[in-house]
Structure 1
Amino acid sequence: MNDFPVLQVDAVDVVRDGNLLLQAVSLTVRSGEHWALLGPNGAGKTTLLRMLGAFEHPTRGTVEVLGKRLGRVDMRELRTAIGHVDPRHTPRSPLTVHEVVLTGITNTAELVPRWQPSAEQLAEAERLIELLGLSHRHDAPWPILSQGQRGRALIARALMPNPRLLLLDEPATGLDLAGREQLLERLDILQRAHPELASVLVTHHLEELPPGTTHAMLLRDGQALVSGTVDDVVTSEHIGAAFDHPVRIVREDGRWSVRAAQPAHH
């Protein structure tokens, strides 16, 4: 077990084209923690996630990913050690679920010509396909998969290099009710099967938070309003402030939901 954090963000500003997208954001993520980045559209969640995934540099401040400081390290090499799930990833040819998962080893969109996975890699692909509830779709080609099945296949793909960090950018977007529930159920199983894995998930819907979420950061206008354990952060008061709308947060059976705040009766 490494003592150093999986992610360490210190006083980061991100300026793009003269616009301040993130301001003085700090975040520490340790092994086994599952963070949610919450906030309205345009709050800076995706900008922060791209930095955590070693796709962007901070303008000011420091970011260390897996102990390596951005700006002093080969970003492409660092990205191979991060499980980044891009919901827009699409293979050009009609690969099967099994083949898409295997492309996680080479970090390519297609299977590499003349490349052969090892027996261990094939076994790992089978384990992850089963873990994400896709065994029955093992040989199904990409074009006929549902959006939810594609999303879970991409999570399995991201886990193939055995990363210590999994990044999820609005993984439940566009899913119907069944697709969302299957995704959350599988993320729950995954987190228990990989207790050392750390994850960071971006969403603006509390209903999409996996029950295993341990920590949260609320962002608004590029600033972190509050950050810490999920029970301290995901409160009616904090969520109402982040989204500038009075709400009542309900948590039952490990899941969150939002209700309109009842007007006070005088």
Structure 2
Amino acid sequence: MIRFENVTVIRNGKTILKEIDWNVNKNEHWAILGLNGSGKTSLLNVICGYLYPTSGKVQVLGQEFGKTNIPELRKDIGFISSSLKGQLKNFDTVLSIVLSGKFASIGLYEAVEKKDVQEARRLMEQLGIEHLEDSAYGVLSEGEKQRVLIARALMAHPKILILDEPCNGLDVIAREEFLEFIEKLAQQEFCPTLIYVTHHVEEVLPCFSHTLLLKDGEVYAQGFSRELLKENTLSEFFGREVTVQEQQNRTWIAIK
């Protein structure tokens, strides 16, 4: 699904990513964990072809960068970030926003067919927002907006779905409801490969079988989540001694 081989990105004389080796295989869901400034967003921009590596090789969905049509490739990648929420129009209905995902447009300007509406309604039902079909986007809760964005992304039937710190701005209740939803989404047959980016360890859900620890633009460690999210590893990773507790199949940390 994704292959990085010795990928380095240098911009304005600054090394943003350094010698990244990383493979994401089919049927794997990954969490990318790192503090602010660790290079998480840059890594996502490389995956989507918005940031081109200075050296190294990138393959996404079997397509090697430099030998493929990047805009066409992006159609198979769903990208959900907090910045997208601010671009959508508050007066647009949920149904129209979900339908716009087919065309990757901000707003619905293309004619839609009956099958498109049926598909949008099917996705909204699966994501538990079918009752919001005629609601204006601006009146939704933050958690509901996130579900709308996911339904919108899934309209294009992406093979990879990237969630870039999706819990930013959510209160604790909305966050836990959203994370419960992500766990259920990962169990659905239609779910694409998930790449979930965060700087909160407790958001690494059981469905994320693998974790990439990113620090100062470099891969600190990667592998099975259950093996990486341990006290010694996380203490060294964060540069502070932390305690680790396992609750509800999730890892929670506190500074000693």
TM-score, with length taken from structure 1: 0.91
Aligned length: 254
Amino acid at match of 2:101: G
What residue in structure 2 maps to residue 251 of structure 1?
246
CA-to-aligned-CA distance 1:164-221 (integer Å, 9 cap, x gap): 1110100011101121112111111111113662111110011222331110011111
Structure 1 regions of 5+ residues with no counterpart? 1-5, 262-266
Runs of 4+ in 1 over 6 A off after TM superposition: none
Structure 2 regions of 5+ residues with no counterpart? none
Residue from 86, 91, 109 that aligns with 2:88: 91
Q: Does 1:117 align with 2:123?
A: no
Q: Distance in 1 between matches of 2:206 and 2:125?
A: 20
Q: Does 1:145 align with 2:140?
A: yes
Q: Distance in 2 between matches of 1:32 and 1:252?
A: 25
For residue 218 of structure 1, give the secondary structure of its aligned residue in structure 2.
Answer: strand
Aligned positions of 1:55-204 closer than 5 A? 55-89=50-84, 90-92=87-89, 94-113=91-110, 115-119=111-115, 121-194=116-189, 197-204=192-199
CA RMSD of aligned residues (A): 1.5
Q: Distance in 2 between matches of 1:33 and 1:251?
A: 22
What residue in structure 1 maps to residue 201 of structure 2?
206
CA-to-aligned-CA distance 1:26-58 (integer Å, 9 cap, x gap): 111112211111111111111101111222211
What residue in structure 2 maps to residue 240 of structure 1?
235
Q: Distance in 2 between matches of 1:208 and 1:99?
A: 30
Equivalent residues of 1:129, 1:135 under 8 A apart: yes
CA-to-aligned-CA distance 1:99-147 (integer Å, 9 cap, x gap): 111111000011024x11341x222211221222212222111111111
Residue 167 to residue 63, structure 1, CA distance change in 2 (3 Å): same
